[in-house]
Amino acid sequence: MAGKDCIAIACDLRLGMQSVGVSSNFEKIFEYDSVYLGLTGLATDVITLSEEFRMKHNMYKMREERRMEPDTFANLVSSSLYEKRFGPYFVGPIVAGLNSKTGKPFICGFDLIGAIDFAKDFIVAGTATDQLYGMCESLWEPDLEPEDLFETISQALLNAQDRDALSGWGAVVYIITKDKVVKRLLKTRQD
Amino acid sequence: MDILIGITTKDSVLIATSKSVARGVSVIKTNDDKTRELTDHSLLAFSGESGDTTNFAEYIQANIRLYGTRNGFEMSNKAIASFTRNELASALRSRKPYQVNILIGGYDVKKKKATLNWIDYLAANVELPYAAHGYAQYYVLSLLDRHHDPNMTQEQGLELLKDCIKELRLRMPIDFKGVQVKVVDEAGVRKLPEDF
């Protein structure tokens, strides 16, 4: 979610096999310096891709001797996913970050083969997509301050995951501003 | 229908594996060992497609032993789990993937901490306080949710494991010929003499 000179990204913590819950501490958001990547979908591909992007991001930093911008990272995600066009990774990624030069919020989502969906309000992914669209559409408004953005994204995620049988078991929220990143664990229903 | 259960306690990991091997309608072995020792303080338990299972387990065992002798120190439990996951994950998108489910129990002598890693045949790797594979999951996970405590002693852990096996004997539709229990703790890996 984008706010006024800030962004927020959040995920639930459940890892499951169909109806069986396996772990209640499986984070789906990964940090690449100031760029944040959320990965939903097949757990094995979530792990594989998060590690592959860690490698590619580190290689870029060493080669270019500078940090990667969020829009650059988005194009890296897109081309990496399209490389596997005919045997894709089963994931629904989202990228969020603040541009280090302009300070402007950047958020985008992808399908499993890397088609980018740019947005200036919010991006959702995962099994609770329908519910999240409903919540975000009604709660989000332009130019939210960091603390209001936290409340908005938390309520959107919490109420969406409670209406989805496959999501939940805890939640994590990151609030990212120019000079501070706050990570909060939310207490949620455990059923 | 194989059973794999792992429970961590304050200072050890307990791993129980079923003793039966069945082909079609016949039981062909009743004292099977579905585990391999990776290092002095790490144990791998496996189930799945027969052939794939022992082949993959021994391949991992050999590579981790090789790492130990080459470098003069053993791989950490986290590294063992990541290595195993990586091998499974690269096989997953090959012509013939390994169909193997895995539990890795380990004890870190320096940190004095027991760890349990759950890895399924799709190569999803998670560290958990307690875990199970196969149909056994449906019966024991709820028991473990209710009664597991990360600070429990090894004796309490064994009592909990006994309760799990009791439930399985009651609910599982076929006889799994009991389980074999191995403990990983400060002293290393050992098999419990008693029959569960």
Q: Which of B13, B8, B17 is CA-nearest to residue B168?
A: B17
B-chain CB neighbours of A44 within 8 Å are 89, 92, 122-124
* Residue A2 distance to chain B (closest CA, Å): 31
CA dihedral for A24, A26, A29, A33, sign (positive or negative): positive
Q: Is the pLDDT of residue A61 over 80?
A: yes
∠ CA A187-A46-A120, rounded to 5°: 70
A10-35 burial string, b = 16+ CB within 10 Å, else e? bbbbbbbeeeebbbbebbbbbbbebb
Q: Which residues of A touch B (CB under 8 A)?
A: 15, 17, 20, 22-23, 25-26, 42-44, 47-48, 87
CA dihedral for B27, B28, B31, B37, sign (positive or negative): negative
What pLDDT, on a 0 to 100 scale, did the predictor assign at position B89? 97
The CATH architecture one would assign to domain B4-191 is 4-Layer Sandwich (3.60)
Q: How many C-beta neighbours within 10 Å does residue A59 have?
A: 10
Which of B99, B126, B133, B146 is the best mutation test for A, with the most CBs of A within 10 A? B126
Q: Is the pLDDT of residue B180 over 90?
A: yes
What pLDDT, on a 0 to 100 scale, did the predictor assign at position B196? 72
Give Cβ neighbours of residue A27 (< 8 Å, ≥ 6 apart): A11, A13, A172
Mean pLDDT of chain A: 98
Q: Give percent of chain B with pLDDT exceeding 70.
A: 99
What pLDDT, on a 0 to 100 scale, did the predictor assign at position A75? 98
- In chain B, where the domains are located: 4-191
Mean pLDDT over residues B162-191, rounded? 96
What pLDDT, on a 0 to 100 scale, did the predictor assign at position B116? 98
Q: Is the pLDDT of residue B1 over 90?
A: no
This prediction's pTM: 0.94
pLDDT tens, residue by residue, B152-176: 999 999 999 999 999 999 999 999 9
Q: What is the DSSP string of chain B?
A: ---EEEEE-SSEEEEEEE--EEETTEEEESS---EEEEETTEEEEEEESTTHHHHHHHHHHHHHHHHHHHHSSPPPHHHHHHHHHHHHHHHHTSSS---EEEEEEEEETTTTEEEEEEE-TT--EEE-SEEEETTHHHHHHHHHHHH--TT--HHHHHHHHHHHHHHHHHH-SS----EEEEEEETTEEEE-SS--
Cβ distance of A22 and B92 shorter than 8 Å: no
pLDDT tens, residue by residue, B18-77: 999 999 999 999 999 999 999 999 999 999 999 999 999 999 999 999 999 999 999 999
Q: How far apart are the two ends of chain A, measured CA to CA in Å? A: 26
Q: How many Cβ pairs closer than 8 A exist between chain A and B?
A: 33
Domains of chain A: residue spans and CATH: 6-186 (3.60.20.10)
* Residue B165 distance to chain A (closest CA, Å): 20
* Residue B139 distance to chain A (closest CA, Å): 11
Residue B177: pLDDT band with limits 50, 70, 90: very high
Which of B93, B130, B135, B139 is the best mutation test for A, with the most CBs of A within 10 A? B93
Show the tokens assigned to B68.
Answer: 């130990």
B-chain CB neighbours of A48 within 8 Å are 89, 123
Mean pLDDT over residues B10-23, rounded? 96
Cβ distance of B126 and A26 shorter than 8 Å: yes
A-chain CB neighbours of B131 within 8 Å are 22
Mean pLDDT over residues A109-120, rounded? 98
Which residue from B minimizes the CA distance to A26? B126
Query: One-letter amino acid identity for A128?
Result: A
Q: E-strand spans in chain A? A: 6-12, 15-17, 20-23, 29-32, 35-41, 91-98, 105-110, 116-119, 171-177, 181-186
What pLDDT, on a 0 to 100 scale, did the predictor assign at position A27? 98
A-chain CB neighbours of B141 within 8 Å are 20
Mean pLDDT over residues A164-172, rounded? 97
Cβ distance of B126 and A22 shorter than 8 Å: yes
Residue A131: pLDDT band with limits 50, 70, 90: very high
pLDDT tens, residue by residue, B76-104: 999 999 999 999 999 999 999 999 999 99
Q: Give percent of chain A with pLDDT exceeding 90.
A: 100
Mean pLDDT of chain B: 96
Q: Is the pLDDT of residue B113 over 80?
A: yes
Cβ distance of B137 and A20 shorter than 8 Å: yes
pLDDT tens, residue by residue, A63-114: 999 999 999 999 999 999 999 999 999 999 999 999 999 999 999 999 999 9
Cβ distance of A87 and B126 shorter than 8 Å: no
The beta-carbon neighbor of A15 closest among B92, B123, B126 is: B126
pLDDT tens, residue by residue, A142-162: 999 999 999 999 999 999 999
* Residue A79 distance to chain B (closest CA, Å): 19
Show the tokens assigned to B67.
Answer: 């790492």
DSSP β-ladder status, B21-23 and B26-29: antiparallel
DSSP β-ladder status, B4-8 and A35-41: unpaired
Show the tokens assigned to B122.
Answer: 């799709």
A46: which DSSP letter? H
Q: What is the distance between the alpha carbons of residues A124 and A64, in angstroms, rounded to a whole number?
A: 31
